[in-house]
Every structure is written in structure tokens, then in C-alpha cells.
Chain A
Amino acid sequence: MAGPTISVRGVQLRADPAREACFKVVHLYSELWRTVDMSAESQREKLHREYNTEVQGMEIAAQSLAEFPDAPWDLRMEMARQCWDESRHARLYLQRLREKGGYKGEFPIANHEWTTTCVFETLVARLAIQNRTFESGSMDSMRKAIKVWNDAGDAETAEITDAILADEVQHVRYANQWINRLGREDPKVVLQVAATMARLRQMSAALRPQPGDISVNGVDLVATPHVSVRANVEDREHAEFSGAEITAVVKRQEAEEADRFAITRLERVR
């Protein structure tokens, strides 16, 4: 069922969705900009990246509507609504980008969410990856982003981010509801989701930055620590993750943070 594919670092991915010639579409993190501050240029890059991410969210939901005509109607309605939501979000980010002097194609883009999600051939796998994994991760990072934009004195972008975050909760929630429901009806779905997540972890490991990878703006992608992002527990509860699932995410993030702290200490000692 999946359409044309490409191979990146030996990983089979869905070929990119259509983009205008003004965009430079890349596949590796080292070909992208890596934002490490809130300079004017970095702010525009964040908005440009979010714009393309929202477009991908719309494209993934639309592709699933087109490719899975036998899905339950109520689930198709959720995906159709998501198309509208993501379309509005993309408009909001592009408008804000332009207000800050930016433009389409100003920075390279990668369609990681599309190329990863749409290579999977079942709807439940796509919901597990795009809605339940990528978008729930966005819920965490967007909560943090609201504070970052406010701290940078940009209350307007912070407000836009909060409005978008509220919409994203429903995209995660409907995926949780449908995966649980389909899993109750057919236990094979549970195994399918587990296999999907295992494959996703393998793909992510192969695609993540390697030692020595430098972003286009000169940032060492492995040595430079990521800003820590805490689980957005409140919105994860709204999105109907179970208590056990939320606890697991919090523990994993705490462990990652402890690892980063230990590495930083070690580097200081050296």
C-alpha cells in the first residue's frame, strides 16, 4: 500500500510529500539548522520548522483518509477534523514567520514525520506513531515553548502555541481512544502497536545524529546538549494516557536528564 520510498542511512522511508521549489528538502539532521538560542534568526527558524511540521500533520491525516477508505467512519471524521486543525496551525505559524520578516524556504526542511509515519502500512501503526508518539512529544515541547516564547518577550507566539497545543491534545486523545478500542476488539492490534514501536525505535536510532555531525549553522549535534523537556503531565492526562503510561514517560525523561547531567559533570572533570 505504501507509495514510493527512499533509503536514508539504510532505513526505508516514505518518499517526501510535494513541496514548492523554494524549499530545500533534506533528510539528515546535519543538513538542518539547529536552534540553540532565541536570536531573531533562531525564532524565525523555529516558526519555519513548526510551519512545515503542521503541514506534515495535515498531510499524514489526509493520506490516511485517502489510503484507508474502510476505516470506521467516526475515526475518519477525526482525521478529517485534524486536517482542518493542522491547516489552521500552519497558517498561524506562517503568518507569525512573515511578521518576523521570514519567508517560505528561508531554512532547509525535513519531512521526518511524514517519511517515517507513512512508510507503515496500517492505520493503527500510523496513529501509534504520528498521533500517539510524535504529537504527544510535541505536547511536551510545546508546553516548554510557551515559556520560552514568553521569556523572550513574545507573548503573541506563546499564545498561538498554547491554542495549537489545545488542539493537539484532541489529536493524541482520539488516537489513544481508537487504539484502545481496536485493541479490545482485536488483541492482534496490541501486538501490532508493540511491533510498530520497536521498528520506530530502530529507525530513530539509525537516523539520529552521529558523532561529528554538525548542523548547517555550525552546531555539533551530539556534543551540544538538548534543552531538557519535561513531560506535559496535565495535557497527557487530557489526552487519556493512563497513569502508568505517564509515569513511564516521566521516569524515562528523568533518566535521560540524569544521563545528561552525568555527562556534563564528566566533561567538566576532563
Chain B
Amino acid sequence: MGLTVKQRGQNVATFRFVEVRIMEILSAWVPTTPEMEAKLLLGAHIWDTAQAADALGKRTYELRLPLQHSLTPVVGYLELLDDLAAAEGAARRIAAFYDVVLPGLAARYRRYLAQTDALMDAPTVRVIERILETGIRMAREANELRAEMPALKLGDTEWLARLAERERNVAELVVEPEAAAA
């Protein structure tokens, strides 16, 4: 049994929240990151995350939710996003986003694809497939930049490993359906 319409809506609206929050985090980083090349990378990816949020927000309307509707994810993931936002320094910011949050989110999207019915929920599947494809390009661009500018590679891998562990420890993004409906 795949997901119900309500569950699909909850997932899509929660993914939208995350994409909007990431867009805002990248936006806040742009003026506060000194390295111009890093700044330009983040600036370009603001548009990618905005498009992801927009596509998800159009889909919420088709799933009996308001247009561009967002649902707050579980507290553990909210805290992770807050810590991402608080990261200082270009190398740490790039590593936290492109090496932890972005692949972690991609894994969550893939889990959703595995759970939902590909035919009944085909419009969501298409949206997510495009987001995954875009994420691969974003990660590639970040890696190319770090290859070109080694100073943007993070030395503190312990910090990154702890962040990755915290990301993995958040099993589900969606707040329990009962709680979400309350």
C-alpha cells in the first residue's frame, strides 16, 4: 500500500518548507561570505532551491492543500537547519550544505519515491526527479569549485561527521499525521 493523498500532501508540504528554508539560508550566506567564487556559487543555487520550493508548492494545491503550502518538519530537522544557518566560514558552509544536507535530503526524496505509487502520484514523482537531478548538478558545481580553490575544502572533518550523524538520526521529516492535522 502506497501513501494516501493526505500523506503525500504532508510530505510534499514538508519538503517545501525545507527547500524554502535552505533558500533563505543560502541567501543569508551570500553577503556574509567573503570569497567571491563561493558567493557566486551560493547565489546561483538560491534560484535552484526556489524553483524546487515552487514546484513542490504548486503540487500541494493538487493534493488538497493551499497553493505554496508548507508544513514544519520535525524538531530535530529544524534544529539541524538552524545549525546549518549558523555555520561560519565558506569552507564549513559549503561542506555542511553540499556534503551533508543536500545528499541527506536527496536520500529522503528517494525514500519518498520508493514509498509512493509512481502512477497515482506521478506529478510528485516528476517534480522530485527534477529536484534530484538539479541537486546532482549543484553538488558537482560545488566540487568543481573546491577542486579549483582548495582553501574552500573543510579541514575539520570531525565537525562534519557529527553533523552528518545528526542528519541521519532524524528518521522522518514529516511530523506525525495526527499531530500535523491538529
Nearest CB of B to A115, in Å? 11
Cα(A55)–Cα(B44), bound, Å: 11
Nearest CB of B to A87, in Å? 4
Known contacts A58-B40, A69-B24, A73-B57, A83 near B47 by CB under 8 Å: yes
Cα(A76)–Cα(B48), bound, Å: 13
B-side interface size class: 20 to 34
Contacts of B54 in A (CB 8 A): 73, 77
Known contacts A55-B40, A80-B23, A91-B40, A65 near B31 by CB under 8 Å: no
- Report the nearest A residue to B34, measured CB to CB: A18
Tell whether, in the assembled complex, residue A81 and residue B47 are in contact, meaning their CB atoms are under 8 Å apart. yes
Contacts of B41 in A (CB 8 A): 87
Tell whether, in the assembled complex, residue B43 and residue A87 are in contact, meaning their CB atoms are under 8 Å apart. yes
Taking the complex as formed, is A225 at the interface, i.e. its CB lies under 8 A from any CB of chain B? no
Cα(A62)–Cα(B44), bound, Å: 10
Taking the complex as formed, is B134 at the interface, i.e. its CB lies under 8 A from any CB of chain A? no
Cα(A179)–Cα(B23), bound, Å: 23
Nearest CB of B to A73, in Å? 5
From A58, A66, A81, A84, residue with most partner B Cβ within 10 Å:
A66
Count how many chain A residues have C-beta atoms less than 8 Å from C-beta atoms of the other chain.
28
Task: Tell me which residues from 49 to 73 in chain B have a Cβ below 8 Å from any Cβ of chain A.
Answer: 49-51, 54, 57, 68
Tell whether, in the assembled complex, residue A17 and residue B46 are in contact, meaning their CB atoms are under 8 Å apart. no
Tell whether, in the assembled complex, residue B31 and residue A84 are in contact, meaning their CB atoms are under 8 Å apart. no
Known contacts A19-B34, A83-B47, A58 near B23 by CB under 8 Å: no
Task: Tell me which residues from 53 to 71 in chain A have a Cβ below 8 Å from any Cβ of chain B.
Answer: 55, 58-59, 62-63, 65-66, 69
Cα(A84)–Cα(B43), bound, Å: 6
Report B's interface with A, CB cutoff 8 A.
Answer: 23-24, 26-28, 30-36, 39-41, 43-44, 46-51, 54, 57, 68
> Which 10 A-B residue pairs are closest in the complex by CB-CB distance?
A80-B50, A84-B47, A62-B30, A87-B43, A65-B27, A17-B31, A66-B28, A18-B34, A62-B27, A66-B27
What are 7 residue pairs bridging A and B, where the CB atoms are less than 8 Å apart in the complex?
A19-B36, A55-B40, A63-B28, A63-B31, A65-B27, A73-B57, A84-B47
